[in-house]
Structure 1
Amino acid sequence: MSDDPYPSPALIISECQRGILEPERSVSPGLAAMAAARNVVGRTATLATEFRARGLPVVHCIIEHRADFKGMRPNSYLGAMSLKHRSMTVGSEDVEIPADLGPEQSDIVSSRATGLTAFYGTDLDVMLRLENVATLVLAGVSSNIALPGLALEAVNRGYSVVLAEDCTAGSSPETHEFMVSNMLTLLARITPAVDVISRLPG
């Protein structure tokens, strides 16, 4: 990619929800701790403010399981833990987005009841195309599964992808570094938030 402004960018905030970011609620306390240590919410909030100020889309991709957990299966560790703890259900405190992130009235919220990635069973792709988005700037959690899955699916759909690396976290520093260096770097431009801001149009 060049150093020109990103074409038609949107900020995609992945799974920044209380049931994931708060250690006492999260199925991955390590992820919650790393997100707090890296100030993922604060840094992402600053990035979101810059996008909104330029009239660019801000999208929250969240998990909201049905209250009866229909469509959920224990065929992964995350699915099994959600079923075991009856967590991340629609209307619960678990699914709430931290107040610092919004959502603001202009933001888009894309929720999924099943699956592990943001495009699965959601209107995310349709909404992005209706907003004429060409570049996805990713922030949030986690660099273990959600962000690599989101990046891979975005590339498959023809989007360019940028990872605002200092606005992301994984289950441990070692896991984060491995995934960023060995997978995400193959799918996305890896850059700090300040660089993203300098390349926003408008």
Structure 2
Amino acid sequence: MTLDIRSSKAALLSLHMQNDIILKDGKLGKLFSEQAEVRNIIKYSKELVHNARSSNIQIIHVCVRFKPDYSNLIANSTLLKVVKQTEALREGTWGGDIVSELHPLKDETVISHQRVGPFYGTELSHILKKGGFESIVLFGVATNVIVESTARVLSDEGYNVFIVEDCCSAATIEAHQASLESLSLLTEIITVNEIFK
């Protein structure tokens, strides 16, 4: 499988690049910020997004965030219980916002969801189908949660899926690598430099 991201049939999905998740001061920072910093994913992701914008690639930003009273959070998993306990990812807060380096432009789509994956209860599938995309490029945090969840659904829906490895991280490097090993059976694992040669 080859990728021509400059084709109008490719879209870029930025997944959970939010302050509460990937920054030290974020409410989930104890879980995810160390590897995000070690792997320098904000720097690489900024380069990826800049190049995509310069090439007129459609970018869709996916965020997980909840009402201030968490009335739309169903805490049926360990991760979502932690979100509620730490009071993370509230709508309208710094923690729920996308990091400033990747802040969406006015014409870029932002999808907010409340489950572990981004498809339930959102317009994401419809937007991708309406756009006529064939290839979807993914990056974000955590590799073994939102990236893997999204990649599996997209693969089942028939898209060519590409994961930008150096723009992803997980709570541990072992979790990141194990997830990519599984996903390599369903997707292509690439780097920023391989997309824009």
1:142 partner amino acid: A
% same residue: 23
User: Match for residue 148 of structure 2?
Assistant: 148
Give the Å deviation of 1:30. Answer: 4.1
Superposed, which structure 2 residues align to 1:117-196 within 5 Å? 117-181=117-181, 183-196=182-195
Question: How many residues are matched?
Answer: 195
Q: Are the counterparts in 2 of residues 164 and 192 from structure 1 also a CA contact under 8 Å?
A: yes
Q: TM-score w.r.t. structure 1 length? A: 0.90
SS of the aligned residue for 1:167 comes to strand
Superposed, which structure 2 residues align to 1:85-104 within 5 Å? 85-104=86-105
SS of the aligned residue for 1:186 comes to coil
Distance 1:83 1:63 in 2: 12
Q: Are the counterparts in 1 of residues 12 and 60 from structure 2 also a CA contact under 8 Å?
A: yes
User: Match for residue 115 of structure 1?
Assistant: 115
SS of the aligned residue for 1:31 comes to helix
Distance 1:175 1:191 in 2: 18
Give the Å deviation of 1:128. Answer: 1.8
Distance 2:59 2:137 in 1: 10
Name segments (4+ residues, structure 1) moved above 3 Å: none
Structure 1 stretches lacking a partner, 5+ long: none
Give the Å deviation of 1:179. Answer: 1.2
Deviations 1:38-82 (A, max 9, x none): 111111111111111121101110012112212322211111112
Distance 1:124 1:136 in 2: 12
Deviations 1:93-117 (A, max 9, x none): 11111111121123211111x2101
Q: Are the counterparts in 2 of residues 19 and 26 from structure 1 also a CA contact under 8 Å?
A: yes
Q: Is residue 106 of structure 1 aligned with residue 107 of structure 2? A: yes
Distance 1:29 1:70 in 2: 25
Give the Å deviation of 1:130. Answer: 2.3
2:17 partner amino acid: C
Q: Are the counterparts in 1 of residues 27 and 87 from structure 2 also a CA contact under 8 Å?
A: no
Distance 1:175 1:82 in 2: 20
Q: TM-score w.r.t. structure 2 length? A: 0.92
